[in-house]
Amino acid sequence: MTARLDDHTERFTMLRPLLFTIAYEILGSVTEADDVLQDSYLNWAKVDLAAVRDTKSYLAQLVTRQALKAQRTSARRRESYVGPWLPEPLLLDDRDASADVVLAESVSMAMLVVLETLTPDERAVFVLHDVFGFDYAEISEAVGKSTAAVRQIAHRAREHVHARRKRFDPVDSDQAAEITQQFLTAASTGDMAGLVALLAPDVVTIIDGGGLPGAARRPLVGAERVAGAIVRGMRRDLRFEIVTANGAPAVALRTDEDQLLGLVTLEIHDGRITSLYAIANPDKLAALDGPRVITR
């Protein structure tokens, strides 16, 4: 006798924060991760629970397979993308009790940018093993490769990530909030000198405009150049607010009519801003209609 549908729902809902994070880290898109979870649940609802020995492992494998399938379609779309592509930001409701599952270093914008340089299999294996601690046998089932092959993929992915991920001590959350506030004040007042003082000499700014006119299609490098671009881009009808995106303070840019024009996440090391990731693509901003509660 199969279990009632409510049993399926209860198990899936309990693990949804984990499952969402797996899909999001593989795809780099909130919208696509939501679609993956919806499709995965429809498949899960047909499963005989009496045959499931480990719900967490089973659902992680199911979601990973669905995410890899979605990734192939996403990759084809990105081939024709205009300008730099950045992961879709993740805004969270700080009151969500499960936010600690998602608010991890692994979903920082900086880490997601590094994960974008991996192959789909490398990305899935790294996320499942190094981030969430699934064993190689479980991952083998998820990606459809032998355990020996998964070990090799994990080693290759780990070396790749460590080579590209800057090795700095974690930033204190209070310090990050203070620097973000200082950045917001300097940017909103056009304080060139104040901006330069906050930026690392080799700061890099990447702007994802999705082909939007005026959006830089190459990274901006250097404190003077980045600060100058920020000052020149100021408009009188802009207002700024600090939000939480990908587990860290970020700056949202809105018009007086409350239209969201951009979201800027900051990577901070040693008291300076080392990277700025700016989302200006209207399609990606449209999905940011408010903080999300990932348990619903």
Q: Output the six-digit token pair for 285.
A: 């901003």
Asked whether residue 140 falls in the same domain as residue 237, the answer is no
For residue 251, the cross-strand partners are 242, 264
For residue 229, CA distances in Å to 13, 190, 191, 207 come to: 45, 10, 12, 11
- Identity of the residue numbered 172: D
What's the mean pLDDT when you consider all of the chain? 86
**Pair 259, 266: CB distance under 8 Å:** no
Tens-place pLDDT, residues 221-253: 999 999 999 998 877 778 888 988 888 889 998
Q: What is the pLDDT of residues 166-196, one digit of tens each?
A: 655 667 788 899 999 999 999 988 999 999 9
pLDDT number for residue 5: 56
pLDDT for res 248: 82
Which of 141, 164, 187 is at the close of a domain? 164
Q: Cα separation of 99 and 180, whole Å?
A: 21
pTM of the complete model: 0.86
Amino acid at 221: V
Q: Is residue 27 part of a domain?
A: yes
Residues 6 or more apart in contact with residue 131 via CB below 8 angstroms: 25, 104, 106
Asked if the structure places residue 295 within a domain, the reply is no
Query: Within this chain, do residues 156 and 184 fall inside the same structural domain, yes or no?
Result: no
CATH of the domain at 216: 3.10.450.50
Among 66-70, 99-103, 253-257, the range scoring the smallest mean pLDDT is 99-103
- Report the CATH number that the domain containing residue 17 is assigned in CATH: 1.20.140
| pLDDT (0 to 100) of residue 216 | 72
